Amino acid sequence: MYPYRPESMIADEFINDDEILQTIQFANENKHNVELIDSLLEKARPKKKGNGVVCAGLTHREASVLLACDIPEKTEEMFRLANEIKQAYYGNRIVMFAPLYLSNYCINGCVYCPYHTVNKSIPRKKLTQEEVRNEVIALQDMGHKRLAIEAGEDPVNNPIEYILECIKTIYSVHHKNGDIRRVNVNIAATTVENYKKLKDAGIGTYILFQETYNKKSYLELHPTGPKHDYNYHTEAMDRAMEGGIDDVGLGVLFGLEGYQYEFAGLLMHAEHLEAVHGVGPHTISVPRVKKADDIDPGVFDNGLSDDKFAKIIACIRIAVPYTGMIISTRESEAVRGRVLDYGISQISGASRTSVGGYTEAERPHDTEQFDVSDNRSLDEVVRWLMENDHIPSFCTACYREGRTGDRFMALCKNGQILNCCHPNALMTLSEYLEDYASEETKKIGYELIEQELKKIPHDNVRRIATENIEAIRSSDRRDFRF
């Protein structure tokens, strides 16, 4: 039996099965304990501090009580609170990104993924550097500045050298006014040595989904391949941090296991990173199992309703207020629209989840990893966000200014990030509007920018942002950022 120790470097201790089971029991016993629930909501509420705002967050046990609570008025209060916290730390900005699939060769046996090695019907494809370049041009032509690269685990077809070469190619492409300014990387758990190489290649966030924190289920869901090693996978973020990557992204694949278990495990992982490295996850993603080639989500019996899914998102936002939260095009427009108000801060747009998907003339995209539910163009997504009072942001300034890891977190936790992110969002939105937007989107965009500039409290910051936006509009490109 392992003890529960968040500061341990052993997965069985910081993601401790006993602690999770006791947490779920405690949460279920207290789900109608209104006094406790009120005190937790009060604890999590944003509080003024100096010129900024601070949010205390909640522990995995505390947040699990909120998640278990099924009192409708309290749930509504949680949704409102999640929105308040999101506004306090992130404002109404939504960061835009797109995935780029490099290769679907994979030697793992993950039962929920069509790239698993037993799938003999799916075509296997790996992009050449020329194809990477063409995909990047297609992404730049839409207006993307931030990518998340994806590849299956295959040391022969997708060795680290291949990934590094692709990153170099991506950063080297500058088509018209386009460039990719941040490459986040979602590849299999690897060694400290390889994480150092990724760091040196200038990656943004290293993303690795845990899939499930339940070790028993994990071993069943990953029957073969290197990913079968639960501890090696779960301890990957510690190795990434040791390799110098201080922005890491967590996530589980909701639907594989009971959601209460995953929720507690995810928060314990965040607590572990804070306890050991002094910095929690840069992002948390919330994918749900989806249909794909040879995958039927119905065989996993832990499917979540949209209501429960929304509540999980709100409770993660309340518990880990500083983290960026990501939702992909796995979800429909309706679901994405709803959860943007409960704490999501990053979304993908116009995604293709197949290898070479951005340059394939038309569907069916036979190498897709999962079915996309939101098939709108980037222009449509950007316009939709603005019509719903969000500011689509193409900003990558923090990473380029070295504000990563604890430096980003310190700004964020003090509520100070708004002083630079808000103007940066407006300037990069202006770049997008000039270079890529339809006339209708452009019109709505500049009306929004005008209103939002007025909200910048510091005269100097407002003046500089206004000047830069005027310069962008008159084609005087400046690489300025706060």
> What character string, x for contact with ligand SF4 (CB under 6 A) and - otherwise, covers 163-202?
-------------------------x--------------
Taking the complex as a whole, how short is the minimal distance between the CB of residue 153 and ligand SF4, in angstroms? 5
Return the bridge partners of 269, or none. none
Dump strand ranges (E) for 90-204: 93-103, 146-151, 182-186
As a whole number of angstroms, the distance between CA 289 and CA 275 comes to: 30
153 is a contact residue toward ligand SF4 (CB under 6 A): yes
**Which of the residues 387 through 406 are near ligand SF4 (CB under 6 A)?**
none
Task: Please enumerate in sequence order all residues whose Cβ is within 8 A of that of 137, keeping only pairs 6 or more positions apart, or say none.
Answer: 173, 175, 178
Closest to ligand SF4 by CB, 113 vs 327, is: 113
110 is a contact residue toward ligand SF4 (CB under 6 A): yes
Segment near ligand SF4 (CB under 6 A); pick from 72-80, 102-110, 303-311, 435-443: 102-110
221 is a contact residue toward ligand SF4 (CB under 6 A): no
Give the residue, chosen from 75, 92, 108, 329, that forms a contact with ligand SF4 under the rule CB under 6 A.
108
Give the residue, chosen from 98, 106, 252, 256, that forms a contact with ligand SF4 under the rule CB under 6 A.
106
As a whole number of angstroms, the distance between CA 57 and CA 473 comes to: 41
358 is a contact residue toward ligand SF4 (CB under 6 A): no
Distances (CA, A) of 13 to 181, 212, 269, 272: 38, 16, 11, 10
Taking the complex as a whole, how short is the minimal distance between the CB of residue 229 and ligand SF4, in angstroms? 12
DSSP 159-199: -HHHHHHHHHHHHH---TT----EEEEE-----HHHHHHHH
DSSP letter, residue 361: S
Closest to ligand SF4 by CB, 24 vs 289, is: 289
Dump strand ranges (E) for 12-121: 47-49, 52-54, 93-103
Taking the complex as a whole, how short is the minimal distance between the CB of residue 255 and ligand SF4, in angstroms? 14
**Which of the residues 55 through 74 are near ligand SF4 (CB under 6 A)?**
none
Taking the complex as a whole, how short is the minimal distance between the CB of residue 131 and ligand SF4, in angstroms? 19
**Residue 459 burial (C-beta neighbours within 10 Å; 0-12, 13-18, 19+):** exposed
Closest to ligand SF4 by CB, 186 vs 424, is: 186
Distances (CA, A) of 173 to 166, 348, 351: 11, 21, 19
DSSP letter, residue 288: B
113 is a contact residue toward ligand SF4 (CB under 6 A): yes
Taking the complex as a whole, how short is the minimal distance between the CB of residue 110 and ligand SF4, in angstroms? 3
**Residue 461 burial (C-beta neighbours within 10 Å; 0-12, 13-18, 19+):** middle
Closest to ligand SF4 by CB, 86 vs 116, is: 116
CA contacts within 13 A on the Cβ side of 27: 23
As a whole number of angstroms, the distance between CA 361 and CA 348 comes to: 21
As a whole number of angstroms, the distance between CA 405 and CA 441 comes to: 34
469 is a contact residue toward ligand SF4 (CB under 6 A): no
Q: How many residues bind ligand SF4 (CB under 6 A)?
A: 10
Closest to ligand SF4 by CB, 294 vs 467, is: 294
Distances (CA, A) of 232 to 9, 10, 52: 11, 9, 39
Give the residue, chosen from 60, 86, 93, 116, that forms a contact with ligand SF4 under the rule CB under 6 A.
116
152 is a contact residue toward ligand SF4 (CB under 6 A): yes
As a whole number of angstroms, the distance between CA 456 and CA 423 comes to: 8
CB 189 within 8 A of CB 207: no
Closest to ligand SF4 by CB, 106 vs 185, is: 106
Closest to ligand SF4 by CB, 57 vs 287, is: 287
**Which of the residues 225 through 244 are near ligand SF4 (CB under 6 A)?**
227
Taking the complex as a whole, how short is the minimal distance between the CB of residue 113 and ligand SF4, in angstroms? 3
Q: Which residues bind ligand SF4 (CB under 6 A)?
A: 106, 108, 110, 113, 115-116, 152-153, 188, 227
